[in-house]
Structure 1
Amino acid sequence: MSKKLRVGVVGVGYLGRFHALIYSRMDNVELVGVVDIDAEAAARVADECGCPAFANSSDLLGKVDAVSIVVPTTAHLEEARQFLQAGVHMLLEKPIASTVKEGAEIVRLAEEAGVILQIGHLERFNAGVMALAERINRPRFIEAHRMGGFVERATDVDVVSDLMIHDIDIILSLVKSEITAISAVGTPVLTPHVDIANARLEFANGTVANVIASRVSEKRMRRIRVFEENRYESLDFIDQRIETAYPKPRPGEAWPEVVVERLDIEPVKPLDAELAAFADSVLTGKAPLVDGRVGLEALEVAMRVKNEIMGRLAN
């Protein structure tokens, strides 16, 4: 491998453009080129980044050590297969695939090739999430809200695969226990897919999580609260602040004082951190924080949630 990591970006729409721009600024990366089915978009981003634009993703084969795949989820397996079979390391945007079967095939191809496969669960690189994980010991109940207004991009998938899967992945990383039961409700509102959903996840260790996701809400909210015995932690993703509440005994009083402490998180750009971690994994061989199997597990749970919802809608 050359001194700099040779990287290409396949798909330079809204998010892929940022992948390309960040790579173009990284000292240990050479951005070899970008690809998009929209030739004009590819040319614009290539001009911004000072790299070539290619007509087909296969044009990158033999030129790159690693790629970011930032295309619609339904095209993940098709795009991933050619690069993984060629031994190219990969950052694949979330969700890993549109079906569990396709996701499992992507994982198999990566493991067979012996390459790094990182799934783009961006919130794992949110400084607040990383700080929260360090403060959690034994979660009893978790409540997550991820809500926002309607935007036209990412409407090729439902809100579970688009938004809720972020919190599913975070919750799985915090609880570290098998899910024993899932119940869920949801409905399409503005698209043919489910636009608002609520899921209850029950774990073998007794933890319960309630997760709400909406892309048709007037109020934007990104929050997760984790309740443990005698304390709870609340993370606001937007304000980048953690609040901790716990009881403090008051001599002579029947009820304790509720103490609330606030921790402001040092801002970190999650996508910058994610791409830097990917490059580091490829260059050093270190396992990625969110590898293919982690991404597949999140997809499996998301699909169980979606199936619960669709079953209710069919009645």
Structure 2
Amino acid sequence: MKNTLKIGLIGLGKMGQNHLRVLSMLKAVDLQFIFDFDIDVMNKLSKEYDVKASRILEDDLQNVDAVVIVTPTFTHYEYILNVSKYVKNIFVEKPLTDKLSTTSEIMKLAHDQSLNIQIGFIERFNPAIIELKKVLEHSNNIINIDFERTNKVSSRITDVDVITDLMIHDIDLALFLNGDFKSVQSYGVIENNMIAFARATIKHKNGVYSNITASRITEKRIRQVSATCEDMYVDCNLLKKEILVNKQTVKQNYENISLMSIEESINVSPQEALLNEHIGFLKFCLENNQNVPKVQDAYAAMKIASIIQDQIWSTQ
């Protein structure tokens, strides 16, 4: 079995440079080339990281085992089609593509060509989410999980709305934690012909509800997950990587009995989610470890995202 992976990186924007930093840290990664249409940025990073700046992408694709795609969302579809002619292992930032129809096409392509495609649902690799999932697995009964994600719109995001930019992370987490969905109800606010605020309630087939809020209007940056369970309430701050659990000690069956609770702080390791994500990709490619978000997960999340978009636009 190979113990190193020859990788090419496509896209050197802000997020692409984060991927470059992490890939350069991993001993199992043999970074063969970087590529971007901004020649000045590519040449600068090529010198800084001592890696080849690709001039003819198709030529360099023939010499790698895997490719990491970190380009604007609307370009993902064409890049995947092109890259898949040369390599089997592909990492692509979320969302997989910008439309449900093209996401479906890539899912079929992956099946037909036996491609290993991992989607950049980075929150699955957030150590706080990893610990939260363990906590919830010990709950008697999950009733509802609230997800809140707010961030003032970034100048680098111009091709997708708040649903495919921010909310899709929590749609994936809702499906990851609660399983397949039964129904979706949503509303939102449109600014400059883009959905800038969205709130959705997902009813899952297991009876659990997920309430998801995403906003580009709110100045404050929030990444919060809160779970209401029959036996406890769990508050998870994804930015601070903090989890607080309030456990019931007395069940309130009779009048005049106070509901008591004990607050417990869960230890969360200070790991970088992006590093965990690429370690997952290496295991996916080298060891066939399937415990990563794949094209089926991308389609499931985009299906709900499309429903939310349609519901919001239909009310305008």
User: What TM-score, normalized to structure 2?
Assistant: 0.93
My pick for the range that moved more, 194-203 or 179-188, is 179-188
- What is aligned with 2:144? 141
User: Identity of paired residues, percent?
Assistant: 27
SS in 2 for 1:136: helix
Q: Indicate the SS of the match to 1:130.
A: helix
> What one-letter code is carried by the residue in structure 2 that aligns with 1:236?
N
Over the aligned positions, Cα root-mean-square deviation in angstroms equals 1.9
2:295 alignment partner, one of 292, 295, 299: 292
Q: Which residue of 2 aligns with 1:216?
A: 217
Confirm or deny: 8 A CA contact 1:160 1:302 kept in the other structure: yes
Structure 1: distance between partners of 2:13 and 2:51: 16
Match of 2:285, SS state, is helix
Shift of 1:12: 0.8
Q: Which residue of 1 aligns with 2:97?
A: 97
Q: Is the 8 A contact 1:180 1:202 kept in 2?
A: yes
| 1:122 aligned partner | 122
Return the offset for 1:56: 4.3
CA separation of 1:51/1:200 partners in 2, compared to 1, >3 Å: closer, same or farther? Answer: same
Matched, 1:254 2:257: yes
* Aligned counterpart, 2:54: 54
Distance 1:156 1:268 in 2: 30
Q: 1:40 is aligned with what amino acid?
A: D
**Structure 1 residue matching 2:213: 3-state secondary structure:** strand
Deviations 1:56-80 (A, max 9, x none): 4323221110010111111111000
Matched to 1:184, the amino acid is S
Distance 1:265 1:219 in 2: 23
Return the alpha-carbon distance in structure 1 between the equivalents of residues 36 and 95 of structure 2.
Answer: 19
Distance 1:263 1:157, change over 3 A: same
One-letter amino acid matched to 1:89: N
Which of structure 1's runs of 4+ aligned residues deviate more than 4 A? Answer: 250-253
- Relative to the length of structure 1, the TM-score reads 0.93
Instruction: Count matched residues.
Output: 311
- Residue 247 to residue 79, structure 1, CA distance change in 2 (3 Å): same
**Offset of residue 302 of structure 1:** 1.0
Given residue 306 of structure 1, which amino acid in structure 2 is its aligned partner?
Q
Secondary structure at the residue paired with 2:217?
coil
Alpha-carbon contact 2:225-2:237 (below 8 Å) kept: yes
Counterpart of 1:215, as a letter, is: R
Q: Aligned to 2:270, which of 242, 246, 267? A: 267
Could you tell me which runs of 5 or more consecutive residues in structure 2 were left unpaired when the two chains were aligned: none
1:163 aligns to 2:163 (yes or no): no
Q: Which runs of 5+ in 1 are unaligned?
A: none
Q: Secondary structure at the match of 1:205?
A: coil
CA distance in 1, matches of 2:215, 2:251: 41
